[in-house]
Structure 1
């Protein structure tokens, strides 16, 4: 089996969100840092621009989402998705994020 080099993030869909007026969604790696921020409303789909996240020593990649309430500056953890190197060559994959929170998103990606 070939080692996976990257997870290519394709899209993030807001299935259910905590504020009907929209929220700022922060997306990043589980080991720290935010690499995208976007304003989303329920039903919105955010298409990533060539977002490649590298595997380090073939360890899983944890992608985490937070919602930012700009009025209060409060950040709420929504959940995460774990991308594993053995998904290489399986095509587009989708994982739900936030099933246990007030918000629900779907992350679509490919492992290369």
Structure 2
């Protein structure tokens, strides 16, 4: 089997949110801080990534993290993260929960290529 080169992010679904106004303002980023998307999501919303390919670097896992932004203060609080590993190559679409220990819960769907 060939080495995995990329993770293709497919979608992010809001299962539970923490913002009392009914929508979370979230940042989707790599663990190293590079922000991919800034989204406003309500329970049941599904965001589909547009051709988002994230490269593996030296075979290390890709960490995808979510932060919720407080619109009033601009401060971000950590929701959780998912680690995508190269060994998932050939397993098809995968889904990981992000934020199980947080007030918010999201599901990230991706594929390793």
The TM-score bracket by the shorter chain reads over 0.9
TM-score, normalised to structure 2's length?
0.95
Q: Residue in 2 aligned with 1:50?
A: 51
The runs of 5 or more residues in structure 1 that have no matched partner are: none
* Alpha-carbon distance between aligned partners in 2 of 1:33 and 1:60, rounded to the nearest angstrom: 15
CA offsets 1:39-97 (integer angstroms, 9 cap, x no match): 10111000000000000011100000001111121211000000000000100000000
**Equivalents in 2 of 1:111, 1:13: separation in Å?**
19
**SS at structure 2 position matched to 1:46:** strand
Deviates more, 1:66-75 or 1:52-61: 66-75
Unpaired runs of 5+ residues, structure 2, are: none
- How big is the alpha-carbon RMSD for the aligned residues of Structure 1 and Structure 2? 0.8
Aligned position for 2:27 = 26
CA distance in 2 between counterparts of 1:52 and 1:58 reads 15
> Any residues of structure 2 matched to 1:1-112 within 5 Å, and which?
1-20=1-20, 21-112=22-113
2:18 partner SS: coil
